[in-house]
């Protein structure tokens, strides 16, 4: 049963919690990189970041299905843009981003549809199966985008490794459950690509290396402690599986909005 805390579930949660989530802890350094340089500006950034974080959580509590839908759309955009940046080409931005984002999200759901919708039900506290019959639409769009991506790779050599990567990811999604599939991509593909691009620019443009290290460590520890505290609170009324599920994915949603605004809207305009 999906609501049992299996070994694979535990591995997935640990990967997301200790590798995936902390990659956003570099946002303090990113904020300094894009202009929040002095102390007052940096505290303003923290205030805005936390305000958006708590607003997302409140919105999710009151409008869970809408919040889940928005989170899926944001994740598609964020993952896609990160993968496009990794190719280091200016062309085909929207095609590449759309292909990767859709492949990750709807590839996982397609190969694990029943398990994925059970997870959605946990996250929304509601029956979400009414929309399941319409998922053939994003599945078809995903397939068409992959075919077009393969077509583009005939003319752009850099995309050929992307074809292999997409096929490899689809194999992962086919063989593993949705949680492990997501954690593998999130931790070993997205986080790696994001940090590879980010750390290079941070250390090339910021002179205060101690600030980068200390701010990242502080934000990482705070995210870990905060997550554990909320899990402890939730397990008083929910199963450990559901509690961790809510903390990780609703927490990811709450972090994704300010993270996207900072990285995809501000940072990527200056550092492509």
Q: Which two tokens stand for residue 10?
A: 């535990």
Q: Which of 223, 241, 214, 269 is nearest to 49 (CA)?
A: 223
Write down the mean pLDDT value for the chain.
Answer: 90
Q: What is the DSSP string of 120-153?
A: HHHHHTS--GGGGGGTHHHHHHHHHHHHHHHHHH
Q: Which two tokens stand for residue 33?
A: 């990189």
pLDDT at residue 21 in the model: 76
Report how far residue 269's alpha carbon sits from residue 264's, in angstroms, rounded to the nearest whole number: 8
Domain ranges of the chain: 7-270
Kindly state the percentage of the chain with pLDDT values over 90: 58
Kindly state the percentage of the chain with pLDDT values over 70: 98
pLDDT at residue 4 in the model: 66
- The residue assigned the tokens 């600030």 is 211
pLDDT at residue 215 in the model: 86
pLDDT at residue 1 in the model: 44
Report how far residue 91's alpha carbon sits from residue 77's, in angstroms, rounded to the nearest whole number: 17
Q: Which two tokens stand for residue 226?
A: 């905060």
> Do 255 and 26 meet the contact criterion of CB atoms below 8 Å apart?
no
The model carries a pTM of 0.90
Confidence of residue 143 (pLDDT cuts 50, 70, 90): very high
End-to-end distance of the chain based on CA atoms, in angstroms?
Answer: 44
Report how far residue 80's alpha carbon sits from residue 101's, in angstroms, rounded to the nearest whole number: 4
pLDDT at residue 3 in the model: 54
Q: Which two tokens stand for residue 247?
A: 């903390």
- The residue assigned the tokens 């984002």 is 101
What is the DSSP code (8-state) at residue 4? S
> Do 178 and 185 meet the contact criterion of CB atoms below 8 Å apart?
no
pLDDT at residue 100 in the model: 98
Query: What is the tens place of the pLDDT at every residue in 58-101?
Result: 999 999 999 999 999 999 999 999 999 999 898 899 999 999 99
Report how far residue 173's alpha carbon sits from residue 145's, in angstroms, rounded to the nearest whole number: 17
Report how far residue 85's alpha carbon sits from residue 82's, in angstroms, rounded to the nearest whole number: 5
Report how far residue 66's alpha carbon sits from residue 15's, in angstroms, rounded to the nearest whole number: 27
């Amino acid at each position: 049963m999906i609501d049992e805390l299996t070994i694979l579930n535990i591995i997935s949660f640990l990967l997301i919690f200790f590798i995936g989530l902390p990659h956003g802890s570099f946002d303090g350094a990113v904020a300094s990189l894009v202009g929040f340089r002095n102390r007052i500006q940096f505290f303003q950034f923290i205030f805005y970041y936390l305000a958006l974080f708590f607003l997302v959580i409140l919105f999710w509590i009151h409008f869970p299905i809408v919040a889940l839908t928005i989170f899926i759309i944001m994740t598609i955009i964020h993952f896609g843009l990160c993968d496009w940046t990794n190719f280091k080409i200016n062309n085909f931005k929207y095609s590449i981003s759309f292909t990767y984002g859709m492949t990750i999200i709807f590839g996982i759901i397609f190969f694990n549809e029943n398990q994925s919708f059970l997870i959605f039900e946990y996250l929304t506290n509601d029956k979400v199966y009414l929309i399941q019959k319409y998922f053939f639409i994003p599945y078809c769009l995903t397939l068409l985008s992959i075919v077009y991506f393969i077509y583009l790779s005939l003319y752009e050599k850099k995309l050929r490794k992307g074809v292999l990567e997409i096929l490899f990811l689809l194999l992962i999604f086919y063989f593993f459950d949705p949680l492990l599939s997501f954690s593998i991509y999130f931790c070993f593909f997205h986080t790696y690509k994001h940090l590879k691009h980010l750390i290079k620019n941070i250390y090339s443009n910021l002179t205060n290396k101690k600030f980068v290290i200390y701010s990242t460590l502080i934000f990482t520890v705070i995210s870990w402690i905060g997550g554990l505290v909320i899990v402890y609170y939730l397990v008083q009324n929910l199963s450990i599986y559901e509690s961790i599920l809510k903390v990780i994915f609703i927490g990811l949603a709450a972090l994704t909005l300010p993270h996207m605004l900072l990285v995809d809207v501000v940072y990527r305009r200056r550092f492509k």
